[in-house]
Chain A
Amino acid sequence: DVKVTQSSRYLVKRTGEKVFLECVQDMDHENMFWYRQDPGLGLRLIYFSYDVKMKEKGDIPEGYSVSREKKERFSLILESASTNQTSMYLCASSFGLRGVQNTEAFFGQGTRLTVV
């Protein structure tokens, strides 16, 4: 079974702190994604990566950065946490589209981040 593991289930940080959210997958997936989920807004894509050291902005990248130094690990960084970044953060991974039929995303359990 595919496993996507997020490092923390719940996290409380102070305004202005630098925050690291870690995600690890064990299926050799090329693609990895970070979303945030807020009530009434669904899942919004923050950043995604299609290969090691490769990244692209999603719909809401402001205030965030990402790092993918190894294929299995994708980190989301809040450079200076603010209260409006309080949210549920979901990491996902999938095979790349080229040459593979099933390209659904597999999700971690989520990290509920509260910034105070």
Chain B
Amino acid sequence: SQQGEEDPQALSIQEGENATMNCSYKTSINNLQWYRQNSGRGLVHLILIRSNEREKHSGRLRVTLDTSKKSSSLLITASRAADTASYFCATRWVDKIIFGKGTRLHILP
């Protein structure tokens, strides 16, 4: 399997704290993407980082990519209750997009 791995599998933090999730992958990539899934629904794209980029920001999201270590991290700053969801990284190589197993994030009030 070429599936990536997110770490941790589950994460609970207090509202207002920062949440960090990590992703490791095995294959060559053109880009790496992060998605969010609210309970029982489809996935929503959050942010994309290309293989020649090292860091990218979008609002409260910060993504880093280290292609030498085949790893990425997603930082969500100043977490909110609405951030409670599952987060998936996905790697793209040509026409194929492969997802990891996800991190379940729970924001405590």
* B48 x A31 contact (CB < 8 A): no
Inter-chain contacts of B98 with A (CB < 8 A) = 45, 59
Given the contacts A40-B101, A42-B3, A42-B102, A107 and B42 also touching, CB distance less than 8 Å: yes
Inter-chain contacts of A48 with B (CB < 8 A) = 95-97
Nearest-CB residue, chain B, relative to A58: B96
* B97 x A105 contact (CB < 8 A): yes
* B97 x A92 contact (CB < 8 A): yes
Give complex CA distance A42, B98 in Å: 10
Residues B1-56 near A (CB distance < 8 A): 1-3, 30-31, 33, 35, 40-45, 48
Say which one of B60-68, B70-78, B86-94 lies at the interface with A: B86-94
Size range of the interface on A? 20 to 34
* B99 x A43 contact (CB < 8 A): yes
Give complex CA distance A50, B92 in Å: 13
Inter-chain contacts of A43 with B (CB < 8 A) = 43, 88, 99, 102
Tally of B interface residues using CB under 8 Å: 26
Residues A58-116 near B (CB distance < 8 A): 58-59, 90, 92, 94, 96-97, 102-110
Inter-chain contacts of B94 with A (CB < 8 A) = 97
Nearest-CB residue, chain B, relative to A96: B95
* B95 x A56 contact (CB < 8 A): yes
CB distance from A46 to the nearest CB of B (A): 12
Give complex CA distance A102, B45 in Å: 11
* A103 x B92 contact (CB < 8 A): yes
Residues of A within 8 A of B (CB): 4, 30-31, 33, 35, 40-45, 48, 50, 56, 58-59, 90, 92, 94, 96-97, 102-110
